[in-house]
Structure 1
Amino acid sequence: MEQLLPVINKLQEVFIAIGASSDAIQLPQIVAIGTQSSGKSSVLESIVGRDFLPRGTGIVTRRPLILQLIHANPESEEKDQPEEWGKFLHCDSIFTDFNDIMVEITKETERELGLGKAISSKPIQLKIYSPNVLNLTLVDLPGLTKVPVGDQPPDIEKQIYDLCYEYISNPNSLILAISAANADMATSEAIKLAREVDPTGKRTLAVVTKLDLMDAGTDATDILTGRLIPVKLGIIGVVNRSQQDINVKKSIKIALGDEAIFFQKRYPGLSDRNGIQYLAKTLNKLLLLHIRDCLPELKTRINLKLAYSQQTLATLGVPIIEKGPELLRVITKFAADYCATIEGTHGNIEIAELIGGARISHIFHEVYFKTLEGIDPLGGLSTTDILTAIRNATGPRPTLFVPELAFELLVKRQIKRLLEPSLRCVQLVHEEMQRIIQHCITPDLHRFSKVHNRIVEVTSALLRERLEPANSMVDNLIAIELAYINTNHPDFASGHEIIARMMSEAGEEYKNRRITRKPKPSVEKPPVELQTTFENNNDPSSKRIIPFGYLMNGENARKDDSDENAASFGRDLTDRERVDAELIKRLIRTYYDIVKKSIQDSVPKGIMHFLVNNVKKHLQSLLVERLYIKEEITELMEESPHVIEKRNRTIHMIKALEKASQIVSDVRETQLW
């Protein structure tokens, strides 16, 4: 199982070499987090046994440090090989002086970030070979802070928090939460952050530092035994060198001896489960077991990531050599997809919403049809308006019949109300055809941003060009209906037919109710009567007279309208006026329905002819004419910079994943146990 750790180290090197985070495939690792004053750097140096991390005030660790500790057997090394040395991934030099390692970490940080106090997620990888270390891989992150100091960025707290969160949110990361014992453990920022991503604590190991600096009379037994704050993987206490020890160059070896004496004296029952050496052994064991558990899933994840990257590369395509034929292919493909979306034969059928031809059909038969059906034929037209129009059409002469001019004037007014919803129908279809453009944008068009922009521009211009004829067609259809009111239309009921129908309705109602009018006083002139006859059910030969005013009784009478019109005229309407108004209303309603049916049928046909079918017919030829210009082909077919960058990044990722797949495939099943 010891051979598993080098496998993870190789995988980390593969992904860091291409500038990708190891989180790309969620490698198992140990991530150390803690505040700036928690002693995190001292813990890592004590595990290594050498001073090698930069020190100073404020933020010193500004980039993640991936520290790979490799146990080197001195007996198997060559005679001229140093006992301990370090090596960075970003350079080929071997560092035997650990002070030089400290300097190189600082220089590499400044090369990336400058002399400021900003931080970066780009890691530095350091390998340390030593016979005094156990095989272990740790990730050291910048210390958590609360208040910006000096020239630190104002949002430094959030930057560090986000960086730490990114690393520990990897479900395959073990979290080394480092806290100081001389501070209240209930306020530990490291443990709080660890619990956010690991609420069960199954991958968190807590380290308590500065046990020797606790207040006199206080004891850390409850903390170390987990009674105060339980942590699933345990809590280990350590004693680091003080700043005074560091200043006087006290060696870590001597400090480890002093640490053992401290635990024997202060916590004799817990001394064998605390200290730097126990921590290193625990981390080594936990990491190896964790790698063993994660490795099968890791193989699957690498293969899935490789397949996805290869698919992404296929969509990005390869650099184009013959640009002219490729431009024609892109144009033809777009035009075919556009027409297929309208026809409903596109291979990529949407299931979330209507689009293309289906949406246009919905506009015609649902939106437009229901809008016209919802228009009241007599909307905005009162009885007063009708009677006023009749009187204006008769002039100074009394008339025996309703003037036809009044009917034409009023019905034209109502027909004009069909214009606005019809024009709106044209606009809705135009908007849908504009939306189809984005639906037909293929990965090829994303590659060539200039071709993409020109295709959208030309297609949109064609749609705008065809919008005007479609609108003119609608205007003309309404104008045609207004130009000639055809009262001889076979579906139009004439005035005589409507009068006969009104008389029949009145007669039927009169028979059913057997209502007789009470005579008015003899001093007043009796109302004009329109006599009609019907057969009595009991006596077919009998005749009865129906008063003219009875035509407005029952369903034909509208009391509220009568009151309103009476108020408008300053008197009650006469029976003749009521009949004339009702007659005009019925004529308008009948003729309006004829025109409405005609418009409902003609407008969709006109839109399809002038807009939809015309665009389908001329789209491809227009695109070729406007785009396939010899002098502009080379410029048009230039790939977008972000596409080139993404392709290169994907190629590097595929190579890295192929190497990673080979590395994990070399691990035999027997090595897992």
Structure 2
Amino acid sequence: MNGEVHSHLEESIRPYIDLIDTLRTVGIHKDLSLPTIVVIGDQSSGKSSVLEALSGVALPRGSGIVTRCPLELRLKKKTGVNWKAVLTYNKKTDESVNFAGPIKPSKLASVKAAQSTHNEKKIEFTDPSLVEKHVATAQNELAGKGVGICDELITLEIMSPDVCDLTLIDLPGIARVPVKGQPEDIGKQIKRLIMTFIGKHETINLVVVPCNTDIATTEALKMAQEVDPEGIRTVAILTKPDLIDKGTEKNILAIVHNSVIPLRKGYIMVKCRGQQQINDEISLEEAAQIERDFFQNHDYFRCLLEEDKATVKSLAIKLTQDLVDHIKDKLNNIQLNQQEKAEERISEQFKMENRIYTQDPIFLKILSEIRNETFSEKELPVFDKLCTYSHMLEAFYEIVVQRMADQLPLMITFYMLQETAQLLSIDIMKILEKPDVHELLSEDSDVSRRRKDLRAHLNRLTAAAEEINKFFN
């Protein structure tokens, strides 16, 4: 895939993609939706073949559900660097870092496992043939061995001089009928997972559709239309053009030219390696040339080459530019949303502190222990005259460390108090709405009389005490 993106674009597009990748790595996507490309398609639509052609590596493929966890594919074009990959995901249980299955001694030197956090597994390797094995092992660990799915994200970062600068997320293929070992609602599970990604306005939906099927009945395109009815952020890839029935070529061309189901970002047709070519060990470079020859010699589809609406190369360039344009458009919104979130969290922190404890007594206690002196709240304005700032900072940071440790129970206490206050208000309102509220609030006559007598008694005694004091003074 060498030269898939023009060199003059590389320096301008990479920083934008790196920024979003970094934001996703630190977990901002849990609070804010980030611009990304999501790949969806029915089972056996050719989705894995498209990703393989873009990335230059063999991903898990076959019949049934092949992608069982969301797979984030980060492609980074780096010249002068040998091929390298890093696979990361959050482990479920085992703290140790293992290799994905048995690895031959000859390949052991090209693999290095590392652990970056307490629950993250990271595997670095330099052999492209190990990608499929590592991804499959990660899926088995997260989704279990078999045919189940999981919503935990697996990230595969590939650095090579022969890939395009692009980041996209591959989702499980849409299943219609459960196979042996799958739950009856597997189809609903997959659709629910897909909807959590494609429903976000920051997402570009990349829909993979085989040319030899009726595009109007494709489940993936139907789902994309539900969340993007105007087709503003949907791109369609037409695969398997060599399998269409003769006589339907003009119908396919009408689709590509946006005359059937209009999409703002349009259609691109590709011809990827088939299973027979893989069995024949046809390389990706050879497959790219075969693809170009196919379109060049096709009576109907030749025109798509001139229009940049055919071949994986055109697809790579289009997706990269679309993603960068999308990021530029959404960056300002991300910044504003992040600022609002930060202000909201700070406001909540102040509310928690004001409601649950005050700072001054804690500060005084810690400072008194450090200085071995006793301080009172009356001395607060003149602390700087009584002790050095180093002791004050030491006391302050001791409080900070303790508060960080107490943050979770603090938040739990805060929200419990908040919830209790709301429930109490609701209960009081319900009581006030009852017809017998007057009876509930009224006082028994005997109790009322007794209370009046006691108040009069108290007033008399008070007046008497005042007169006696006057007499003796």
- Per-residue deviation at 1:7? 0.4
Which secondary structure state, in structure 2, belongs to the residue aligned with residue 605 of structure 1? coil
- Partner in structure 2 of residue 55 of structure 1: 61
- Per-residue deviation at 1:607? 8.9
- Partner in structure 1 of residue 34 of structure 2: 27
Q: Which runs of 5+ in 2 are unaligned?
A: 1-11, 90-120, 357-401, 452-473
Counterparts of residues 110-189 of structure 1 (less than 5 Å): 110-189=140-219
Question: Percent identity of the aligned residues?
Answer: 34
1:245 to 240, 255, 277: 277
Residues 173-201 of structure 1 show CA distances to partners (whole Å, capped at 9, x for unaligned) of 00001100011111111110001101111
- Per-residue deviation at 1:143? 0.2
- Partner in structure 2 of residue 66 of structure 1: 72
> What is the alpha-carbon distance in structure 1 between the residues aligned to residue 246 and residue 445 of structure 2?
91
**Residue type of the alignment partner of 1:290:** H
8 Å Cα contact 1:117/1:153 also seen in 2: no
1:195 to 210, 225, 232: 225
Distance 1:148 1:88, change over 3 A: same
- Partner in structure 1 of residue 19 of structure 2: 7
Residues 519-568 of structure 1 show CA distances to partners (whole Å, capped at 9, x for unaligned) of xxxxxxxxxxxxxxxxxxxxxxxxxxxxxxxxxxxxxxxxxxxxxxxxxx
> What is the alpha-carbon distance in structure 2 between the residues aligned to residue 39 and residue 204 of structure 1?
18
> What is the alpha-carbon distance in structure 2 between the residues aligned to residue 152 and residue 314 of structure 1?
49
Counterparts of residues 192-271 of structure 1 (less than 5 Å): 192-219=222-249, 220-266=252-298, 267-271=301-305
Which secondary structure state, in structure 1, belongs to the residue aligned with residue 38 of structure 2? strand
1:38 to 45, 49, 62: 45
Counterparts of residues 354-433 of structure 1 (less than 5 Å): 355=428, 360=432, 367=435, 426=439
- Per-residue deviation at 1:608? 12
State the TM-score, normalized to the length of structure 1: 0.47
Q: Which runs of 5+ in 1 are unaligned?
A: 78-82, 342-347, 369-423, 430-603, 614-673
> What is the alpha-carbon distance in structure 1 between the residues aligned to residue 30 and residue 208 of structure 2?
22
Residues 72-124 of structure 1 show CA distances to partners (whole Å, capped at 9, x for unaligned) of 011xx4xxxxx211112344442111221211111111112221322111100
Counterparts of residues 460-471 of structure 1 (less than 5 Å): none
8 Å Cα contact 1:67/1:139 also seen in 2: yes
Instruction: Indicate the structure with greater strand content.
Output: 2
Which secondary structure state, in structure 1, belongs to the residue aligned with residue 75 of structure 2? strand
Residues 468-489 of structure 1 show CA distances to partners (whole Å, capped at 9, x for unaligned) of xxxxxxxxxxxxxxxxxxxxxx
Which secondary structure state, in structure 1, belongs to the residue aligned with residue 297 of structure 2? helix
Distance 1:359 1:202, change over 3 A: same
Distance 1:349 1:156, change over 3 A: closer
Which secondary structure state, in structure 1, belongs to the residue aligned with residue 444 of structure 2? helix
8 Å Cα contact 2:60/2:136 also seen in 1: yes
8 Å Cα contact 1:68/1:138 also seen in 2: yes
Q: Indicate yes or no: 2:95 matched with 1:89.
A: no
Counterparts of residues 252-401 of structure 1 (less than 5 Å): 252-266=284-298, 267-272=301-306, 273=308, 274-312=310-348, 355=428, 360=432, 367=435
- Per-residue deviation at 1:32? 0.3
**Residue type of the alignment partner of 1:259:** E
Which secondary structure state, in structure 1, belongs to the residue aligned with residue 26 of structure 2? helix
8 Å Cα contact 2:88/2:123 also seen in 1: no
Distance 1:150 1:306, change over 3 A: same
- Partner in structure 2 of residue 481 of structure 1: none
**Residue type of the alignment partner of 1:64:** P
Residues 13-55 of structure 1 show CA distances to partners (whole Å, capped at 9, x for unaligned) of 111xxxx7x253100000000011100010011011222x112
**Residue type of the alignment partner of 1:12:** R
> What is the alpha-carbon distance in structure 1 between the residues aligned to residue 345 and residue 194 of structure 2?
27
Distance 1:160 1:314, change over 3 A: farther
State the TM-score, normalized to the length of structure 2: 0.66
- Partner in structure 1 of residue 7 of structure 2: none
Larger Rg: 1
Distance 1:97 1:605, change over 3 A: same
> What is the alpha-carbon distance in structure 1 between the residues aligned to residue 304 and residue 344 of structure 2?
51
- Per-residue deviation at 1:240? 1.4
Distance 1:25 1:244, change over 3 A: same
Distance 1:155 1:607, change over 3 A: farther
Residues 579-609 of structure 1 show CA distances to partners (whole Å, capped at 9, x for unaligned) of xxxxxxxxxxxxxxxxxxxxxxxxx232996
Residues 316-346 of structure 1 show CA distances to partners (whole Å, capped at 9, x for unaligned) of 67989xx9xx9xxx9xxx9xx99xx9xxxxx
- Per-residue deviation at 1:349? 12
The worse-fitting range, judged by mean Cα deviation, of 307-316 and 274-283 is 307-316
Distance 1:93 1:146, change over 3 A: closer
Q: Indicate yes or no: 2:458 matched with 1:605.
A: no
**Residue type of the alignment partner of 1:268:** R
C-alpha RMSD of the superposition: 3.2
**Residue type of the alignment partner of 2:64:** G
> What is the alpha-carbon distance in structure 2 between the residues aligned to residue 277 and residue 609 of structure 1?
91
Which secondary structure state, in structure 2, belongs to the residue aligned with residue 89 of structure 1? strand
- Per-residue deviation at 1:315? 6.1
